[in-house]
């Protein structure tokens, strides 16, 4: 844990020092860094190698300060990749829906077969009863 804290503190100190030199060329970026680190800039002559940031000072986490500059080819490739991924996901959903529909149809077919079989069973039982009654001499209307 101590090593992690040391690495983070060193990185933040480096960013703070670098932002002093960056501010004349990118004033907006310098102001954002100053705000995020919650520590005002000092004159370069008073800037120290370390311990510029006070321990326990809250820092703000936010958006990426500098976004990657992407060429048109990279944008096109990224869009194609995203489209391909979206198409693959849509196909997966479609196949899943078709599979679910097939299951429902199979279940409905099974239920219909079962109902038909039960109806046939009932009809056969009635036919047997009638045949037995006819054999015994009973008349059905």
Q: Which residues contact 54 (CB under 8 A, 6 or more apart)?
A: 39
- The DSSP code sequence of 20-84 is HHHTTT-HHHHHHHHHHHT-----GGG--SS--SPTT------S-SSPPP--HHHHHHHHHHHHH
Structural domain includes residue 55: yes
Examine residue 107 and state whether it is found in any structural domain, yes or no. Answer: no
Residue identified by tokens 């490739």 is 77
- Its pTM stands at 0.50
**Is the pLDDT score of 114 beyond 80?**
no
pLDDT confidence of residue 140: 54
Number of domains in the chain: 1
Closest among 11, 26, 19, 9 to 47, alpha carbons compared? 19
The predicted-structure confidence for 53-112, as pLDDT tens digits, reads as follows 888 888 888 888 888 888 889 989 999 999 999 999 999 999 998 888 888 877 877 777
> Tell me, what's the pLDDT at 102?
85
Within a domain: 39? yes
Q: What is the dihedral of CA 90, 91, 96, 100, to 10 degrees?
A: 100
Mean pLDDT computed over 110-122: 67
10 within domain boundaries: yes
User: 38 lies in a domain?
Assistant: yes
What span, in angstroms and rounded, lies between the C-alpha atoms of 44 and 34? 14
pLDDT of residue 89: 92
- Let me know if residue 9 belongs to a domain: yes
Domain holding 47, by residue range, is: 1-66
What pLDDT, on the 0 to 100 scale, is given for residue 80? Answer: 93
pLDDT score of 62: 82
Euclidean distance between CA atoms 14 and 22, whole angstroms: 12
Interatomic CA distance for residues 133 and 130, integer angstroms: 5
Q: Is 25 a member of any domain? A: yes
Q: Is residue 138 part of a domain?
A: no
**pLDDT for 109:** 75
Average pLDDT on 30-41 reads 90
Percent of the chain at pLDDT > 70 equals: 80
pLDDT at 131 over 90: no
């Amino acid at each position: 844990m101590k090593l992690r804290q040391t690495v983070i503190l060193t990185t933040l100190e480096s960013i703070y020092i670098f932002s002093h030199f960056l501010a004349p060329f990118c004033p907006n970026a310098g102001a954002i860094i100053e705000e995020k680190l919650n520590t005002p800039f000092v004159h370069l002559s008073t800037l120290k190698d370390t311990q510029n940031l006070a321990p326990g000072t809250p820092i703000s986490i936010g958006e990426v300060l500098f976004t990657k500059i992407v060429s048109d080819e990279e944008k096109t490739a990224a869009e194609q990749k995203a489209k391909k991924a979206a198409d693959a996901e849509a196909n997966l959903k479609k196949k899943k829906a078709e599979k679910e529909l097939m299951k429902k149809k199979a279940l409905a077919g099974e239920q219909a077969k079962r109902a038909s079989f039960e109806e046939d069973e009932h009809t056969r039982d009635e036919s047997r009863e009638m045949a037995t009654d006819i054999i015994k001499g009973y008349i059905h209307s």
